[in-house]
Amino acid sequence: MVREQLGHEPGSGHDHSPSSCSTDEGDCGGCGPCSRKIIELGAARIGANGAELDPNLLRADLAQYIDHTLHKARVSREELKKLCSEAAQYCFASVCVNAANVAFCVRQLRGSGVPVCAVVGFPLGAMTPAAKAFETKEAVRAGACEIDMVLNIGAMKSRDYALVLEDIQQVVQAAKPALVKVILETAELTHEEKVIACSLSKVAQAAFVKTSTGFGSAGATEADVALMKAVVGDELEVKASGGVRTAADVDAMIQAGATRIGASASIAIVQGKKSAVKRGGRRAAGGY
């Protein structure tokens, strides 16, 4: 789909063919040898720090599914540098940041093969279609290859489906050739509204539907991911975000139908650290 046009496989930010391991940038992290190397490095680092870990969760193979995410308002340049360095090291599918930070992250990631994803209309979705389209164009101009836009939730609750469709369509058009993921904020929608939102996203030719901003009342659930996948079928992909903090969480979402995961706990996931927050709990100051 759109990811092939951008040179990426669905659900992955990189080419993990054997030839991709012999680049100047270093190991790809997705094939067997590279995954083992990352696992060994991660295990050594965790052991040195004395952090609690579960050896069964050392899962570098999950990195290709994860958008390494940082959306908090007070984020510093040093934190962004760290985010990008981690993304390049572990070969995450992308880094996902606020639009104001796209250009900086693009510069940090140059030559790494890791794309930058920008959020639009975030986190409320309560903007006009024209405003979201403008924000999208600015992000793409700055170098974003992916756009995660928030649905107009108020319009959806009001059954103004024409406005919801226009909202998505304008962002999809403004984003080209970047792909668009539509954030439904599933915790705020009824079953019927989730189905309609997914259907409208298909009509608008988005690339993904996504569960949550991470700033809502709840995050991703396996039931919502399965429902969204059932509606969009093979035409769109599904991204699960919000409360996904362990390798077991990621596995569950993939089994339910997700091909992309939004997480700020990405390093903990691939290194096997146990989450200090139970599933369903709200993660403070970063959403994911």
Cβ atoms of residues 114 and 139 within 8 Å? no
Task: Report d(CA 56, CA 37) in Å as an integer.
Answer: 16
* Consecutive H or E run containing 66: strand 66-70
Given the residues 61, 67, 148, 167, select the one marked as catalytic.
Answer: 148
Residue 62 CB-half CA count within 13 A: 29
Report the relative pairing of strands 94-98 and 116-120 from DSSP bridges. Answer: parallel
Given the residues 210, 224, 229, 273, select the one marked as catalytic.
Answer: 210
210 is catalytic: yes
CA distances, 63 to each of 34, 118, 158, 212, 256 (Å): 12, 19, 38, 20, 18
CB atoms inside a 10 Å sphere around CB 203: 11
Helix/strand/coil for 98 = strand
Peptide bond into 129 cis (omega under 30): no
Residue bearing tokens 């999809």: 172
181 is catalytic: no
Instruction: Please tell me the total number of residues recorded for the chain in this structure.
Output: 288
Given the residues 224, 239, 249, 273, select the one marked as catalytic.
Answer: 239
Residue 171 DSSP class: H
Residues with catalytic annotation? 148, 210, 239
